[in-house]
Amino acid sequence: MLKSIIEHALKHFLTDNRYHTLSQTQIEAYADLLALAMVIDHHIAQQERDLLTKILEQFEWPANRPSEHFINQSVRRAWGLLEAAQKNAAILSYCKDISTRLKEDWIRENAFSSVIKIVHADDKLDVEESTLINLLAEAFDLPDDQKELLITRARMPEKPTP
């Protein structure tokens, strides 16, 4: 079911041509980050799952492997981080690796904003989600003012598409 939702969304909601320039490594890093944001509170809300699907629809996934394959792997890796003995250190290291794989500032900022949207999708922000935001800002080397600006922008209601 998730596969059909994602593939349907890929066909109908492509919004930014810059996403076509991303490498498979960058796309997978983005998916890894969103999966972590979705599971960080040890619960996957339907609103988070729906938003993850909507966000990942922007990317071109390889035809020989459906997007669901990569997303499932990302979710498994994220759950594994939550079981680490030094969870925050493991998450910070993971986020730094994602930052390296994303390579470009514009996609890092976009990914950070997407994380904000996912952790707020269920209308609550718990301690684990707040910690993730701070660890991600550190990993992405975002100054406090830039972090706050991105959070503010991400929380603004989206304008309906014509």
pLDDT at 4: 52
Nearest of 61, 84, 88 to residue 73 by alpha carbon: 61
Query: What would the two tokens of residue 38 be?
Result: 């979705």
CA distance linking residue 36 with residue 97, whole number of Å: 13
pLDDT reported for residue 45: 84
Burial (CB count within 10 angstroms: exposed 0-12, middle 13-18, buried 19+), residue 136 = buried
What's residue 13's pLDDT? 43
Give residue 8's pLDDT.
Answer: 46
Give the pLDDT of residue 63.
62
CA distance linking residue 141 with residue 125, whole number of Å: 22
pLDDT at 66: 54
CATH superfamily, region 2-155: TerB-like (1.10.3680.10)
Residues of the chain with pLDDT under 70: 1-19, 61-67, 160-162
Q: Please state whether the predicted TM-score (pTM) of the whole model is above 0.85.
A: no
Q: What count of other Cβ atoms lies within 10 Å of the Cβ of residue 132?
A: 23
The per-residue pLDDT for 14 is 44
Given this model, what pLDDT does residue 9 score?
46
